[in-house]
Amino acid sequence: MKDTRSNPETKKLAGVQAARLIQDGMLVGIGTGSTIAFLIKELGRRVREEGIRITGVPTSFQSRLSCNQLGIPVREMQDCAALDLALDGADEVDPDLNVIKGGGGSQTREKIVAAMAREFVVVVDESKLVATLGAAFPIPVEVLPSGLAYVERAIRDLGASPALRIATSGKDGPVVTDNGQFILDVRFPPGTDLRAADERMHRIPGVLETGLFLDLAGKVVVGGGSADGPAVRTLMRAK
Ligand code: 5RP
C-alpha cells in the first residue's frame, strides 16, 4: 500500500543526503522502501569509493538483498541490542515528527530497529508531510493470521475500519510479511485520539505491532523543491 503522490527525484535527494549522516565505524539500522533504496545505493558508493567501514542492520529482505548486492556488510537484527543510528522512510509525518510507517509491510522490524538506535532519522520527500496523521493513510497493523477474525472484530469495536491488505502482483490473496503475518490497514474516524487508539490496539491479542511511530524520530530529512530548484531540509523534534 503505497502513496502515489511521491516523487522519485525528491526521494532521491533526501536519500542521498541522509546517507551522509552515516559515519565510519557505525552500526546502522537500514529501513525499507523506495526512498531508502536511494540511500542504500549512495551508501554502497561510499563503502566502495570512500572506503567507509560500516555495518548495516536491514529491516527487510528487500533491504538486505540490496545491501548484499552493493557490498554493504550486514548483521542480523536479532543479534543486535543497540545501534548508533537508524534511517528509515515513512508514509506520513506530522508536525511533531510522529510518523505512520508500514506501507511496505515492514513496520514491526522497523520499529524494533528504530527503538534500539541512539538516533532514529526519518527520510522522506515532502509529499509525506501532513497536518494530521491517518487522515489520508491508514495505520498498518501486523496481525497473527490465526487471530485475524478476532482482531478485525476488536478493531471494529474501537470504532475503526480494518481492511486486510491484498497483494496486487506476484501473489494471490493476502500480503504475507517478512515475519509470515498479515497486515490490516486500519482507518479511524477523523478526530480520533490516535495515541489512545494505538495503546488499545496493542492490548488486542493477535496484534503484533502497529505502524504508528510516536516520539521515536529525532529528525526528519525532507527532499523537496521550490522555484529556486531542489532542496533538502532537516526538521528537528522539539525537546
Ligand atoms: C515500509 C515503510 C516505508 O518506509 C514507507 O512505506 C515509505 O516507503 P517509500 O519510501 O517507498 O515511499 O514503512 O514498511
Please give the distance, rounded to the nearest whole angstrom, from the Cα atom of residue 101 to the centre of ligand 1: 6
Please give the distance, rounded to the nearest whole angstrom, from the Cα atom of residue 164 to the centre of ligand 1: 18
How far apart CA 176 and CA 192 sit, in angstroms, is 28
- Which residue do the cell numbers 565505524 mark? 25
Q: What is the pTM of this model?
A: 0.95
For ligand 1, mutation pick of 11, 41, 91 (most atoms within 8 Å of CB): 91
Give, for 44, the enclosing helix (H) or strand (E): helix 34-45
Determine the length of the chain. 239
The residues assigned a catalytic role are 110
- In the predicted model, residues of the chain with pLDDT beneath 70 are 1-5
Q: Whose CA is nearest to atom 6 of ligand 1?
A: 103
Task: With H, G, I as helix, E, B as strand and everything else as coil, classify residue 191.
Answer: coil
Please give the distance, rounded to the nearest whole angstrom, from the Cα atom of residue 107 to the centre of ligand 1: 9
pLDDT at residue 3 in the model: 54
Show the ligand 1 pocket: residues with CB < 6 angstroms.
2, 6, 31-35, 88-91, 101-107, 110
Q: Domains, the chain, ranges and CATH?
A: 8-130+214-236 (3.40.50.1360), 139-209 (3.30.70.260)
Question: Radius of gyration (Cα) for the chain, nearest Å?
Answer: 17
Number of DSSP helices (H) and strands (E) in the chain, helices first: 6, 13
pLDDT at residue 2 in the model: 58
Task: With H, G, I as helix, E, B as strand and everything else as coil, classify residue 127.
Answer: helix
Helix orientation angle between 34-45 and 61-70, rounded to the nearest 10 degrees: 20
pLDDT at residue 66 in the model: 98
